[in-house]
Amino acid sequence: MTSATLPAITPASIMTEELGTLVRTLQAHGPEEAGGLLDAVPPSFAFEALVRLNQDFIQNILAALKQERRQAILDAATPELAQQWLRNQGFAPDTIGRMMEPAQSVLAPDMNVGEAIESLRKLLKNVMVTYGYVVDEAGRLLGLVTMRDLLFNSHATPLTGIMLRDVFTFRAGMAQSDAMQLTLARHYPVYPVCADDGTLLGLVRGQTLFEAKAFAITAQAGSMVGVEKEERISTPLWRAFRFRHPWLQLNLLTAFLAGAVVALFQGTIDQLVILAAFLPVLAGQSGNTGCQALAVTLRGLTLGEIKDGDGMKLVTKEGVLGALNGGPVGLVAGVAMYVTATGQQSPDALMLALVVFLAMIGSCTVSGICGAMVPLTLKRYGADPATASSIFLTTATDIFSMGLLLGLATLLVWSF
């Protein structure tokens, strides 16, 4: 949905909007803008809209609301959801605890199948039940019961005889990205969330987890060039400016660093003006090589394919790939330099072609190494690998490619 198709939301008009329209409008905005929209509706209507959103997005909206408004919406919510939402607010953003739902299909270990069915029957009118969770008196998870087992066993069968005991669970403080990696080989519809002592805290639906991760992945491309994850098409102009401008200033600083490298070899450029035509060629090819390595590394980090100890292997592989790709590309660029220099009747045409060839191999090799190393380094120090990888990668490739071309030309051509 684009900003051109969003309905105009005002305190006077929103009362006549359909609930579905309000939900779609909230989804098209960031948390702060969505919170502003909910200020214009009654708390009960705001609650009805919130329960149709992703659990993580609900928490972000609640955090953006003023205390009085947030409390009014919680008062309009069901007791179970209000208690769960308050509990979720205590967990850090981007953790599993932020997206939990109440675990209402809770069963006692001394129940039999017939008693469990009657207990769950009361919930089915208002709650989507996938599993029954067997907990002890202290609330610790003992096992779960599937609907199939309840259906195909006699009513007298005790739950302890049919429940699954080795239950896969999340911890509430676990990062959503880590949880996503753990689910790659598991495709369960619902995952229980427990405290460190095994107490059942809530549930996370696989759909909710994948929705949150899908949004994070779609935000990576923008994050790499300084577009914040919360920025949407509907984000106000001034807010979008504040999101983007600091990154452009950082990019300008790094561009000055590349320019300073070129300035160091001004004498070489003055004598060999033909090199200026090949600087963007070299920077572009090495930049593309680095971006390929960066894309593969980010994908591996996102999908959990890069394990501890795999970093050096990946960096080495990308460096070798950069050298292999740089050879043929450098050969073509070297031939282009030779033809151009010969056309200008340069006596150093062959040596200039060799300089371009060697510089292309070297810069592509370094670009491949940097494309893998930058996101791995950011990840290691707790930063988002997608946030500024592109800026740092571009700086490294520009400085090294231009410096290598001009440095080799100075050593092999101009100095002689």
Note the pLDDT of residue 415: 54
Q: How far is residue 370 CA from its own chain's centroid?
A: 20
Could you give the 3-state DSSP secondary structure of residue 164? strand
- What fold characterizes domain 14-90? Annexin V; domain 1 (1.10.220)
Is the fold of 14-90 the same as that of 237-414? no
For 94-104, b/e burial (b = at least 16 CB within 10 A) is: ebbbbbbbbbb
Its pTM stands at 0.54
Query: Low-confidence residues of the chain, pLDDT below 70?
Result: 1-17, 211-236, 270, 303-304, 382-384, 386-388, 414-416
Note the pLDDT of residue 214: 53
CATH superfamily of the domain spanning 237-414: SLC41 divalent cation transporters, integral membrane domain (1.10.357.20)
Ordered DSSP codes for 323-340: HHHHHHHHHHHHHHHHHH
| C-alpha span between 312 and 298 (Å, rounded) | 15
Residue 171 is given by DSSP the state: E
> How do the domains of the chain map onto residue ranges?
14-90, 106-210, 237-414
Could you give the 3-state DSSP secondary structure of residue 347? coil
- What fold characterizes domain 106-210? CBS-domain (3.10.580)
User: Residue 140 to residues 6, 79, 86, 186, 201: CA-CA distances in angstroms?
Assistant: 46, 21, 21, 23, 9
Could you give the 3-state DSSP secondary structure of residue 170? strand
Place of tokens 């805290």: 201
Note the pLDDT of residue 225: 44
Q: Pick from 169, 385, 364, 383: which is nearest to 281 by CA?
A: 364
Note the pLDDT of residue 383: 66
Note the pLDDT of residue 387: 60
Note the pLDDT of residue 410: 87
